[in-house]
């Protein structure tokens, strides 16, 4: 983009996209599209940002904050030299959470040969205001997908198996409603994008996202799938269990994002019509039907 665009923000930093949403809503697809832009690098999911911010509030600085990053269970996904990151953080002195995060993301972007960075961690949909307070350059792109298709996708990946469909619906509805309440305080730093619109008409939807990010649309974004296997290869490593999160094999992690290595397609749009039982559909719509309709999705109840 033009130098004038880069300096449009008062702090001199270009907008940094944070792609968020309920898991299995297509956030990896959007991450790869944005990451294909020659100016923008977005790593695999970070997960450490809220912990880093909280530690900073308690007074942690510099190297102590770097410890949280390199100690994260997915640290290996970033293919980053620990010594180099620590060197850059040390050069900042008693840096706060914002400075340490910028050092991490800046180094990652540099390793990709790009000047700008972003993040794609769906669960940050619960932490947007917290992140926004610390990083003035953060702008949020909330990707929303029909919750019934989300539920089907989760079940296929072994997520939520055995739970009542009403619980899955409550989880989907709750996260979206909480995000929208936060959005009222984000003052132009938040946008919503429907997965179904993105896969059906990628170019105009990506153009909207780029305008939000003060970024010019680049043709490479539409051919993202050509480099997708290379970019996703970073996730081909096993993750140990940690806290409430189960162990995940590298093979399973790659398989969960296999569709993102091909051009976008709407063949999974509305899968609930043929693959979801009538009882599950009715249970989901009983809890989240009003929000589904508000978002433009058809319901049968």
**Residuewise pLDDT in 10s, the chain (301 residues):** 333 344 344 478 999 999 999 999 999 999 999 999 999 999 999 999 999 999 999 999 999 999 999 999 999 999 999 999 999 999 999 999 999 999 999 999 999 999 999 999 999 999 999 999 999 999 999 999 999 999 999 998 888 788 999 999 999 999 999 999 999 999 999 999 999 999 999 999 999 999 999 999 999 999 999 999 999 998 888 888 888 788 889 888 888 888 888 999 998 899 999 999 999 999 999 999 999 999 999 999 7
Q: Is residue 207 part of a domain?
A: yes
Euclidean distance between CA atoms 289 and 287, whole angstroms: 6
Is 269 within a domain?
Answer: yes
- Please indicate, yes or no, if residue 81 is contained in any of the structural domains: no
Residue 300 lies in a domain: no
Cα–Cα distance between 261 and 105 in angstroms, integer? 24
Domain total in the chain? 1
Residue 10's Cβ-count burial label (10 Å; 0-12, 13-18, 19+) is: exposed
Is residue 169 within 8 Å of residue 284, measured between CB atoms?
yes
Go through 40-51 and write b for each residue having 16 or more CB atoms within 10 A of its CB, e for each that does not.
bbbbbbbbbbbe
CA distances for 61 relative to 47, 70, 90, angstroms: 19, 15, 10
Domain CATH code at residue 212: 3.40.50.300
Q: What is the largest CA-CA distance in the chain?
A: 60
C-alpha span between 123 and 25 (Å, rounded)? 12
Q: pTM (2 decimals)?
A: 0.94
Q: Note whether residue 228 is domain-resident.
A: yes
69 domain-assigned: no
Range of the domain at 158: 3-42+118-294
Q: CA-to-CA distance for 82 and 114, rounded, in angstroms? A: 20
């Amino acid at each position: 983009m033009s130098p004038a665009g880069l300096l449009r923000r008062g702090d001199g930093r270009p907008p940094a996209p944070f792609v968020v949403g309920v898991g299995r809503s297509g956030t990896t697809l959007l991450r790869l599209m944005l990451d294909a832009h020659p100016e923008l690098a977005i790593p695999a999911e970070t997960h450490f940002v809220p912990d880093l911010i909280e530690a900073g509030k308690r007074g942690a600085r510099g190297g102590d904050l770097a410890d949280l990053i390199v100690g994260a269970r997915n640290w290996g996904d970033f293919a980053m030299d620990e010594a180099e990151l620590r060197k850059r953080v040390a050069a900042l002195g008693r840096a706060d959470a914002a400075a340490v995060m910028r050092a991490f993301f800046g180094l990652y972007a540099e390793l990709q040969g790009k000047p700008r960075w972003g993040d794609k961690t769906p669960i940050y949909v619960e932490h947007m205001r917290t992140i926004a307070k610390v990083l003035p350059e953060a702008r949020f792109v909330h990707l929303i997908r029909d919750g019934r298709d989300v539920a089907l996708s989760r079940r296929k990946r072994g997520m939520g198996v055995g739970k009542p469909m009403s619980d899955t619906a409550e989880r989907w509805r709750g996260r979206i409603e909480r995000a929208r309440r936060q959005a009222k305080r984000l003052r132009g730093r938040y946008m919503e994008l429907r997965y179904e619109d993105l896969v059906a008409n990628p170019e105009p939807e990506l153009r909207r996202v780029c305008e939000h990010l003060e970024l010019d649309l680049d043709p490479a974004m539409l051919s993202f799938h050509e480099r997708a296997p290379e970019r996703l290869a970073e996730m081909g490593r096993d993750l140990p269990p940690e806290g409430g999160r189960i162990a995940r094999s590298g093979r399973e992690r790659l398989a969960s994002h296999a569709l993102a290595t091909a051009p976008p397609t709407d063949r999974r749009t509305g899968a609930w019509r043929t693959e979801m039982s009538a009882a599950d559909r009715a249970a989901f719509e009983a809890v989240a039907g009003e929000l589904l309709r508000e978002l433009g999705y058809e319901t049968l109840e």
